[in-house]
């Protein structure tokens, strides 16, 4: 199985900050990397698919980049509603696997 | 509007069984592969099972293979997960998720999720 490692596991930041979350795959996954936002008690929300494609309706402050084994999710200017847990997801091979999550908290 | 609503969760003893359902609306259910993903308390997301639109191909995580069975009824716009021989480490919130790509193919994207149903396995 492909292991996905996110860093950091948690992050404290302020409204307006620029934030970057990284995700590393244990082997190459081409560009088959998605990002989700998850708030407690709610459905996970797709943000970015295939490394860098913004899901419809997602604010443009979210962006993704990378290839091969190393990927990043960037939030250009944090908004209050962005405080949540973020997961990367590789869909290069079955079983699909997720990173352990990055909890973004208010500083 | 796409909606996925899970149901059927609850408290069950180790070794017991439970059947989860996911009711879909707002899209042509029979055209999409579907997935079950779970989140144990305090843990991250774990893919459990997937099924292609016509039920031709089915996939399971090793952790549930032989114990869980995914199925669907396209006439009822519903996805199911039959869970047998439940263990304490199956305790989790179970989500159904729509896939843009055929299950088992590279490039899956889980574009819509339900809010989940909690399964607790405890004596």
Chain B residues near residue A93 by CB distance under 8 angstroms: 106
What's the gap in Å between the CA of A25 and the closest CA on chain B?
15
Distance of CA A78 to the CA centre of its chain: 14
> What pLDDT score does B105 carry?
86
* pLDDT above 90 (res B109): yes
> What pLDDT score does B58 carry?
96
* pLDDT above 90 (res B2): yes
Phi, psi angle pair for A5, to nearest 5°: -120, 120
CA dihedral A86, A92, A93, A94 (to 10 degrees): 40
- Is B122 at the interface with chain A, CB within 8 A? no
> What pLDDT score does A37 carry?
98
What's the gap in Å between the CA of A15 and the closest CA on chain B?
25
Cβ distance of B44 and A101 shorter than 8 Å = yes
Q: How many residues does chain B have?
A: 123
Task: Give the confidence band of B49 by pLDDT, cuts at 50, 70, 90.
Answer: very high
CB-based burial label for B72 (10 Å; 0-12, 13-18, 19+): buried
Cβ distance of B115 and A46 shorter than 8 Å = no
Task: Give the confidence band of B22 by pLDDT, cuts at 50, 70, 90.
Answer: very high
Structure tokens at B77: 């716009």
> What pLDDT score does B53 carry?
95
Q: Is A101 left (phi over 0), alpha (psi -120 to 50) or beta?
A: left
Report the share of chain B in percent with pLDDT over 90: 94
Cβ distance of A30 and B106 shorter than 8 Å = yes
Compare CB distances from B108 to A41, A91, A100 and report the shortest one's residue: A91
Q: Report the chain B residue with the minimal C-alpha distance to residue A101.
A: B44
> What pLDDT score does A23 carry?
98
How confident is the model over B32-48, as a mean pLDDT?
97
* pLDDT above 90 (res B102): no
Cα(first)–Cα(last) distance of chain A, in Å?
36
For residues B6 and A79, give the distance between their C-alpha atoms in angstroms, rounded to a whole number. Answer: 30
pLDDT by residue (tens digit) across B74-92? 999 999 999 999 999 999 9
> What pLDDT score does A73 carry?
98
Beta-carbon contacts below 8 Å between A and B: 64
Compare CB distances from B115 to A42, A87, A92 and report the shortest one's residue: A42
Interface of B with A in 9-48 (CB under 8 A): 44-47
Mean pLDDT of chain B: 97
Give the residue from B122, B120, B111, B101 showing the smallest Cα distance to B57: B101
Tell me the pLDDT of chain A (107 aa) as tens digits: 999 999 999 999 999 999 999 999 999 999 999 999 999 999 999 999 999 999 999 999 999 999 999 999 999 999 999 999 999 999 999 999 999 999 999 88
Cβ distance of B109 and A97 shorter than 8 Å = no
For residues A48 and A72, give the distance between their C-alpha atoms in angstroms, rounded to a whole number. Answer: 11
| Strand-strand pairing, A102-106 and A10-13 | parallel
């Amino acid at each position: 199985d492909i292991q996905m490692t996110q860093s950091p596991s948690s992050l404290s930041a302020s409204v307006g900050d620029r934030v970057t979350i990284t995700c590393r795959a244990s082997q190459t996954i081409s560009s088959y990397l998605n990002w989700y936002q998850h708030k407690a008690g709610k459905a996970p929300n797709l943000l970015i698919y295939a490394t860098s494609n913004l899901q419809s309706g997602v604010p443009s402050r979210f962006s993704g980049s990378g290839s091969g084994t190393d990927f990043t999710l960037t939030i250009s200017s944090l908004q209050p509603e962005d405080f949540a847990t973020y997961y990367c997801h590789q869909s290069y091979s079955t079983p699909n696997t997720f990173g352990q999550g990055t909890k973004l908290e208010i500083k | 509007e796409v909606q996925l609503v899970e149901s059927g969760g609850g408290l069950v003893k180790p070794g017991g069984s439970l059947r989860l359902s996911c009711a879909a609306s707002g899209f042509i259910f029979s055209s999409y592969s579907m997935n079950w993903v779970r989140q144990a308390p305090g843990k991250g997301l774990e893919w459990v099972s997937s099924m292609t639109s016509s039920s031709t191909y089915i996939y399971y995580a090793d952790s549930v293979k032989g114990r869980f069975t995914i199925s669907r009824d396209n006439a009822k716009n519903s996805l199911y997960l039959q869970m047998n021989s439940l263990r304490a480490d199956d305790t989790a919130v179970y989500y159904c998720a729509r896939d843009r790509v055929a299950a088992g193919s590279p490039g899956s994207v889980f574009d819509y999720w339900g809010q989940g149903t909690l399964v607790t396995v405890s004596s």
